[in-house]
Amino acid sequence: MTATIDHSSGLSGRMTGDVVLPGDADYDDARRRWNGTVDRRPAVIARCRDAADVAAAITYARSEGLEIAVRGGGHSIPGHSVVDDGLVVDLSAMNSVQVDPATRRARVGGGALLSEMDAATQEYGLAVPCGQIGHTGVGGLTLGGGFGWLTRMAGLSVDAMRGAEVVLADGRTVHASADENPDLFWALRGGGGNFGVVTEFEFECYPVGPMVSIGMLFYGLDDAAAVLRLARETVPTLPPSVTFQVIAMNAPPEPFVPEAVRFRPGYALVVIGMGDPGGADTDADAVCESLRAGGPPPLFDFRSPMPYVALQQMIDEPNAWGVHCYDKSCFLTELSDPIIEVVTEHVARKQSPLSVVNVLTADGAYCDADGDATSFGGERTPRLLVFIIGLTLPDGVGFEAERDWVRAFHTALMPLAITDAIYVNAMGSGDGHGVSALYGRKYERLARIKAEVDPENVFHRNANILPAP
Question: pLDDT digit string (tens) for 377-426?
Answer: 888 999 999 999 999 999 999 999 999 999 999 999 999 999 777 788 88
Pairing of strands 44-47, 87-90: parallel
CATH T-level assignment (fold) for domain 97-207+440-453: 3.30.465
- Per-residue pLDDT tens over the stretch 349-363: 999 999 999 999 999
- Per-residue pLDDT tens over the stretch 2-31: 445 666 667 888 899 999 999 999 999 999
Give the integer Cα–Cα distance in Å for 90 and 81.
9
Q: Which pLDDT does position 206 carry in this prediction?
A: 97
Mean pLDDT along residues 138-158: 96
DSSP code for 413: H
Whether residue 200 is predicted with pLDDT greater than 60 in this model: the reply is: yes
pLDDT band at residue 250 under the 50/70/90 scheme: very high
Pairing of strands 126-127, 68-71: unpaired
CATH for the stretch 10-90:
3.30.43.10
Inter-axis angle of helices 282-294 and 224-234, to 10 degrees?
140
Identify the helix (H) or strand (E) that includes residue 106. Answer: strand 105-109
* DSSP output for 420-468: T---GGG--TT-GGGHHHHHGGGHHHHHHHHHHH-TT----SSSPPPPP
Strand partners, 271: 215, 244
Mean pLDDT along residues 175-189: 97
Using a pLDDT cut of 70, give the percent of the chain over it.
97
Give the integer Cα–Cα distance in Å for 361 and 236.
10
Burial call 88-98: b when 16+ CB within 10 Å, e when fewer:
bbbbbebbebe
Q: Which residues contact 289 (CB under 8 A, 6 or more apart)?
A: none
- Selection from 359, 462, 352 nearest residue 404 by Cα: 352
| Residue ranges, CATH 3.40.462.20, the chain | 211-426
| Residue ranges, CATH 3.30.43.10, the chain | 10-90
- Selection from 137, 227, 168 nearest residue 459 by Cα: 168
- Selection from 190, 195, 173, 193 nearest residue 56 by Cα: 173
CB atoms within 10 A of CB 415: 9
Amino acid identity, position 332: L
Give the integer Cα–Cα distance in Å for 440 and 435.
9
CATH T-level assignment (fold) for domain 211-426: Vanillyl-alcohol Oxidase; Chain A, domain 3 (3.40.462)
List strand residue ranges (DSSP E) for 288-362, in order: 300-307, 324-332, 356-362
- Selection from 377, 462, 467 nearest residue 192 by Cα: 462
Half-sphere exposure of 185 (CA within 13 A, CB side): 21
